[in-house]
Amino acid sequence: MTSADHAVAALVREHWAPLLRSLILFSHRVDLAEDALAAACERALQAWSAQVPAHPVAWVRRTAQRALIDELRHEQAFTRRHHLIATDESVDARDAAPSVMDDRIELLWLACHPALGSESRSLLALRFVFGLSTERIARIFLVSTSTMAARITRAKKRVAADGFVLASSLEYPERAADVARAISAAYAASYFAGDDTSDDIIALLRQIVQLRPHPTLDALDVLVSLTHARRDARIDADGRLLTLAEQDRSKWRANEISAALRRYVTLQQSTGYAEELRAYATIEAAHALAPCIEQTDWSLIDAAHDRLTQLGHSPLDLLERTAGRAVSGRPLDPVDVERLSQELPDHHRVFVVAAHLRRQEGDEAGADTLIRQAIELCGSEHERRALLQLLNRTSHLAPSHPQTRSH
């Protein structure tokens, strides 16, 4: 990556939310503000190739404001807003204030407006709050980039047409479940990409939990804390994603696991998404308590999956359960694998569990073919390396079971 790439990536990671919030307040147009900020960041990649400016945040805000003014002029509005363009010094002074997290919370509650569809709330939160690219959001939702771009455009038009405004989280506690879905999606994207935004996402979640306690957010906090405690053991020196069976559990952060387990036992049985997250937290707790993969309490994990089934069928839940059986070395149900192939036809992990079934049936060549297809579909470099090693290993010696999940 060039110095411009690093500078823009850092700016998006650290300042996207406060910049977007200021542009929304400046223009009162959520849709145009987000477009202008994204365009300014794209322009920065080109303009900063020779040298990064002394005040990069101010440069991006000023560029975005000018783009906003041009667009608003086309709509015959804000024709006299030149004087509102901030100077370098005033922008940096404002950005030095400790308001980044508050900005993110407000934007989360805006993105999760009930007038939007449930999926639109999550994808707008990923754009507005975390600054994820359209391509990355598309991978999370298992659709093409063009399809996701159209969905984001429609959602932003709806926001503009209905005149949504920045909302206080105190006024709308009922949006907490959708906020939890958005944070969960953002964390999953960061976790499997192996990037350095996971800590920031968890810090945001912890602040929200402290400020706005809610069963859904509490359960999500426990779930991601148990998962995140394994971060030091997940990737080897070659950048390959390690499964639970391969991880050195002495590298798991015992203090974080203990703290999360203490919070886990306080979770009460609930309904809806809060109960779904509690079931997943139960699965992670079972892994956290096991000294090794062979001593995992799979009956507890199966019970949690049964609870998820009671809450409603989800292809991703079925994939988690099937992959868990593969990791534990238990035989797969061909009916489950066929259903996954129909409901998630382009998900690389479906090809991995299908390969396990082929190997279970003695079809080594067929299994290797499916692993190659999984490699082609996989969007994570860490997972791709793990699959390549699996393919190389099975070309010489078929394992008792493929390592498909639970990282």
In tens, the pLDDT along 269-327 reads 988 899 999 999 999 999 999 999 889 999 999 899 889 888 887 788 888 888 878 87
Predicted local distance difference test score (pLDDT) of residue 395:
52
CA dist., res. 59 & res. 87, Å (int): 9
Predicted local distance difference test score (pLDDT) of residue 91:
44
Looking at the fold, whether 206 and 220 belong to one and the same domain comes out as: no
Contact 229, 252 (CB under 8 A): yes
In this structure, is residue 327 part of a structural domain? no
117 φ/ψ sector (left φ>0, alpha ψ -120 to 50, else beta): beta
Using CB atoms within 10 Å of the CB of residue 68, give its burial: 0 to 12 exposed, 13 to 18 middle, 19+ buried. Answer: buried
Contact 241, 385 (CB under 8 A): yes
CA dist., res. 111 & res. 121, Å (int): 5
Looking at the fold, whether 199 and 275 belong to one and the same domain comes out as: no
Domain boundary among 73, 97, 121: 97
In this structure, is residue 52 part of a structural domain? yes
Total domain count, the chain: 4
Binning the chain into helix, strand and coil, the percentages to the nearest 5 are 70, 0, 30
Dihedral sign from CA coordinates of 66, 68, 73, 74: positive
In this structure, is residue 172 part of a structural domain? yes
Predicted local distance difference test score (pLDDT) of residue 166:
62
Predicted local distance difference test score (pLDDT) of residue 195:
60
Q: Could you tell me which residues come within 8 angstroms of residue 255 by beta carbon, excluding any fewer than 6 positions away?
A: none
Q: Could you tell me which residues come within 8 angstroms of residue 186 by beta carbon, excluding any fewer than 6 positions away?
A: 125, 126, 129, 130, 132, 197, 201
**Residue 128 has which token pair?**
């507005």
Looking at the fold, whether 83 and 111 belong to one and the same domain comes out as: no
CA dist., res. 145 & res. 297, Å (int): 40
Predicted local distance difference test score (pLDDT) of residue 280:
93
For tokens 């508050």, the residue is 102
Contact 147, 130 (CB under 8 A): no
CA dist., res. 376 & res. 384, Å (int): 8
Amino acid code (one letter) for 260: A
Of 349, 386, 398, the C-alpha closest to 247 is 386
Q: Average pLDDT of each block of 10 consecutive residues along the chain (407 residues)?
A: 83 83 78 84 88 88 86 61 47 44 76 78 80 80 82 82 65 81 82 70 88 91 94 84 87 95 94 92 94 91 90 82 79 89 88 88 88 84 79 52 39
In this structure, is residue 323 part of a structural domain? no
Amino acid code (one letter) for 209: V
Domain boundary among 213, 247, 271: 213
Of 192, 189, 140, the C-alpha closest to 386 is 192
Predicted local distance difference test score (pLDDT) of residue 95:
45
Looking at the fold, whether 290 and 364 belong to one and the same domain comes out as: no
Q: What is the pLDDT of residues 137-159, one digit of tens each?
A: 887 776 788 888 888 888 888 87
What's the Cα-to-Cα distance from 274 to each of 223, 263, 311, rounded to whole Å? 11, 14, 11
Q: How many C-beta atoms lie closer than 10 Å to residue 376's C-beta?
A: 10
Looking at the fold, whether 154 and 93 belong to one and the same domain comes out as: no
The domain in which residue 406 lies consists of: 332-407
In this structure, is residue 317 part of a structural domain? no
Looking at the fold, whether 144 and 80 belong to one and the same domain comes out as: no
Looking at the fold, whether 115 and 181 belong to one and the same domain comes out as: yes
Looking at the fold, whether 11 and 68 belong to one and the same domain comes out as: yes
Query: Pseudo-torsion of CA 22, 27, 31, 37, nearest 10°?
Result: -50
Looking at the fold, whether 127 and 191 belong to one and the same domain comes out as: yes
In this structure, is residue 318 part of a structural domain? no
Residues in the chain, how many?
Answer: 407
Looking at the fold, whether 197 and 218 belong to one and the same domain comes out as: no
In this structure, is residue 357 part of a structural domain? yes
Of 40, 28, 187, 49, the C-alpha closest to 110 is 28
Looking at the fold, whether 124 and 187 belong to one and the same domain comes out as: yes
Domain boundary among 97, 118, 140: 97
Looking at the fold, whether 119 and 207 belong to one and the same domain comes out as: yes
CA dist., res. 33 & res. 50, Å (int): 27
In this structure, is residue 336 part of a structural domain? yes
Predicted local distance difference test score (pLDDT) of residue 170:
62
**Residue 20 has which token pair?**
């977007």
